[in-house]
Structure 1
Amino acid sequence: MPSPPTTPAIVAIVGPTASGKTALSLDLAEALGGEIVNTDAMQVYRGMDIGTAKLPPAERRGIPHHLLDTLGVRDPATVAEFQGWARAAIADIRGRGATPLLVGGSALYTRAILDRFEFPGTDPAVRARLEAELAEAGSPALHARLRSLDPESAERIEIENGRRVVRALEVIEITGRPFSASLPVQEYADPRTVQLGVTVDRAVLERRIEARVRQMFDDGLLAEVERLLGEGLAEGRTAALAIGYRQARAVLAGELTPDEAIERTVIATRQFARRQLAWWRNDPRITWLAYDDPDRVAKALAVVRGIPAGTGRW
């Protein structure tokens, strides 16, 4: 009797923003007969296209993409919800015999999907009190408190991301442990999981980030944000925090010039890239591939198909 078909692997492509993850994901999807699952927290929002570097449909090579354009900008989204959506999409893709390829820059979201991770509970009273403090004192003040209680988590959470700061402080108060202690452990929920990382020299990455940000503003980011403000972007608890969108809103409000907004967006994006790398640098399960290696697709396929190559940098 023929042996039953092997369940397709789960392939996750990680790496800092502007490193070339999207191009690699498309090449691998074509080679593996795969479908792509977005793991970028902001690309789930309809209309947030330019500022999130969302791949236009015409450039997706006919490859099915999941978890893009599923929410309006007013809708909140949590890591726990994203975990459920992504795992359901992965199960559906594998059920059809295709290979799911996860790609996106939200490191916590990717880890929550791939690894064993049960979310800590919530306490409505604690959450309400912290949110009231956030409204009164502002995110920097609460972030300073988080830094004193849990420096590791503070390093990974943006100062302006009041929602995540509140969540971290809530978990600390409820559990009596650092928020970082409740993050995913390095144990795959499904053993047929492969992580591929795209690595770029820091100086090159910083130039690529600056070029990408300038292109976004040239391509009409201000007009995109003006339109989204009419759809409720400013009231969105998640979407309003997106890098580039905050700075563009400041231009439209007369608080920054376009050049100042570009400079601040570049700085914020570089800081975000460093936080992304902090998530991944200590994960020995990732096989790193140079962004400009002409053989990166062949090497990635060898890893996915199980040809022994070890981990680390090719």
Structure 2
Amino acid sequence: MPDPRTGAGSAHAEGSPPVIAVVGPTGSGKSDLAVGLALELDGEVINADSMQFYRGMDIGTAKISMEERRGVPHHLLDTLDVTEEASVSDFQRQARAVIDAIHRRGKRAILAGGSGLYLRAALDVLEFPGTDPAIRRRLEHEAASEGEAGLRSRLERLDPVSAARLGDTRRVIRALEVYELTGRPFSSYMPTREYVRPTVQIGLEVDRDVLRARLAQRVHGMVENGLLEEVGRLESRGLRQGKTASRALGYAQFLKVLDGVSDVAEAAEETIVATRQFARRQLTWFRADPRIAWLDWQDPALLERAIAACR
């Protein structure tokens, strides 16, 4: 019988080993460590990078190649078309089902990624309110015709905690939608730091100056490997219409190259700046979780220390 808190079966309730999650900022080596752990601990990897769900978004997301997977099964990669919208609640259901299936096979489940809310959705007690397309459309129309100010003012009256926390129109609309649909403030659905099953989180501690240089080098490497051409292919498959995919780092910037608004060098520099800012936000998010065991990303004994933490 499904667990009402998790939406999953009871496979994890008795005797399953802890879930492993490898977390940290973009460019810190999470995918490589996850593969190493899987090879040593007889595990399988579950992607928790929201932009790696998208088919064809390979270069710009630094998606792990078949060769780099070294025979380790990887799950929840390439599950969406670029026109589809990524959903945290869908990911929660899918990831927990995959974890249960991996455990039934007697393997270790290893999540790897830097999308903080997606990781929390898979690992922690977290309830998602439903959606109502009609309410959403009405609020979107109101925002487009009258501006965000009125919506934000309404949210400040109904849910001041969310109003202070949410920075863009899309999230303000979502908070108002939830309030209309459920009668509860959106802030009441915020996650608690309570695992749904035993879990070990390993965070990769980075040297920020080294990471800044590494991220710049990585973006230049993406350009050399054909990022602009990849964006062009995906544009013909509806990238611009995708609410999530079109905002991905690199893709948003290189769509402007296709439009003639900027050149490749400008787009690369904008991508570097945005990626560094994103890495800082990731570090802030993960640093707030006291349950994470931090290991030096450049430690020659990183894999051995990570294995010890998992055991």
TM-score clears 0.5: yes
TM normalised by structure 1 equals: 0.85
User: What is residue 276 of structure 2 aligned with on the other side?
Assistant: 270
User: After superposition, what is the alpha-carbon deviation per residue over 1:89-145, rounded to whole angstroms, capped at 9, x for unaligned?
Assistant: 111111100001100111100001100011123344431222224545788998999
Q: Which residue number in structure 1 is paired with residue 46 of structure 2?
A: 37
Partner of 1:171: 178
- Distance change (3 Å), C-alpha of 1:171 and 1:208: farther
Counterpart CA distance in 2 for 1:274 and 1:140 is 29
| Cα-to-partner distance string for 1:141-181 (whole Å, 9 max, x where unaligned) | 98999898533343xxxx5xx64453244336666776454
Give the direction of change, closer, same or farther, for the CA distance of 1:120–1:53 in structure 2 (3 Å limit): same
State the Cα distance separating 1:256 from its structure 2 match.
1.0
Instruction: Kindly report which structure 2 residues correspond to 1:178-197, keeping only aligned pairs within 5 A, or say none.
Output: 179-190=186-197, 192-197=198-203
SS at match of 1:150: helix
Determine whether 1:106 maps to 2:127.
no
Q: What does 1:24-63 align with in structure 2 at a 5 Å threshold?
A: 24-63=33-72
Supply the AA of the counterpart residue of 1:114.
L
SS at match of 1:42: helix
Q: What letter matches 1:184 in structure 2?
A: P
The alpha-carbon deviation at position 225 of structure 1 amounts to: 0.6
Q: Give me the CA root mean square deviation.
A: 2.6
Contact 1:38–1:68 (CA under 8 A) maintained in structure 2: yes
Q: Which residue matches 2:163? A: 150
The DSSP-based 3-state class of the residue aligned with 2:52 is coil
Range with greater deviation from structure 2 (294-303 or 84-93): 294-303
**Alignment equivalent of 1:21, drawn from 25, 30, 45:** 30
2:223 aligned with 1:217 = yes
**What is the Cα deviation at residue 274 of structure 1?**
1.9
Q: Does 1:205 align with 2:211?
A: yes
Q: Which residue of 1 aligns with 2:93?
A: 84
Q: Contact 1:163–1:237 at 8 Å: present in 2 too?
A: no
Residue 266 of structure 2 corresponds to: 260
Q: Structure 1 residues 183, 294: CA separation in 2 closer, same or farther (over 3 Å shift)?
A: same
Alignment partner of 1:64 out of 73, 77, 88:
73
Closer/same/farther in 2, CA of residues 279 and 141 from structure 1, 3 Å limit: farther
Q: In the aligned structure 1, how far is the partner of 2:231 from the partner of 2:148?
A: 23
After TM superposition, the structure 1 stretch with the greater mean CA deviation from structure 2, 274-283 or 253-262, is: 274-283
Between the aligned partners of 1:90 and 1:212, the Cα distance in structure 2 is 31
Q: Say if 1:131 and 1:24 are closer, same or farther in 2 by CA, change over 3 A.
A: same
Alignment partner, residue 302 of structure 1: 308
Give the AA of the match of 1:260. Answer: E
Q: Which moved more, 1:290-299 or 1:175-184?
A: 175-184
Deviations 1:177-223 (A, max 9, x none): 76454221100011x21100001122122111111111111111100
Against the structure 1 CA distance between its residues 290 and 145, is the aligned structure 2 distance closer, same or farther, given a 3 Å change threshold?
A: farther
* Change in 2 beyond 3 A, CA 1:18/1:118: same
1:64 deviates by 0.2
Alignment of 1:235 onto 2:244: no
Contact 1:150 1:178 in 2 (8 A): no
Aligned partner of 1:273: which letter?
Answer: A
Sequence identity, in percent?
A: 54
Normalising by structure 2, report the TM-score.
Answer: 0.86
The size of the alignment, in residue pairs, is: 294
Alignment partners' CA distance in 1, 2:151 and 2:276: 23
CA 1:94–1:19: 2 relative to 1, 3 Å: same
| Structure 1: 5+ residue stretches without partners | 306-314
Letter in 2 for 1:65: H
Relative distance call for 1:289 and 1:207 in structure 2 (3 A) is same
Alignment-derived partner of residue 141 in structure 2? 132
Residue deviations 1:239-283 (CA, integer Å, cap 9, x gap): 112111000100010011111111111111112112212221121
Provide the C-alpha distance between the structure 2 equivalents of 1:6 and 1:124, rounded to a whole number of angstroms: 41
User: Which letter does structure 1 place at the counterpart of 2:101?
Assistant: D
Tell me which moved more, 246-255 or 175-184.
Answer: 175-184
Tell me, yes or no, if the aligned pair for 2:152 and 2:163 is still in contact at 8 Å.
no
How far, CA to CA, are the matches of 1:195 and 1:272 in structure 2?
A: 20
Q: Tell me the secondary structure at the aligned position of residue 295 of structure 2.
A: strand
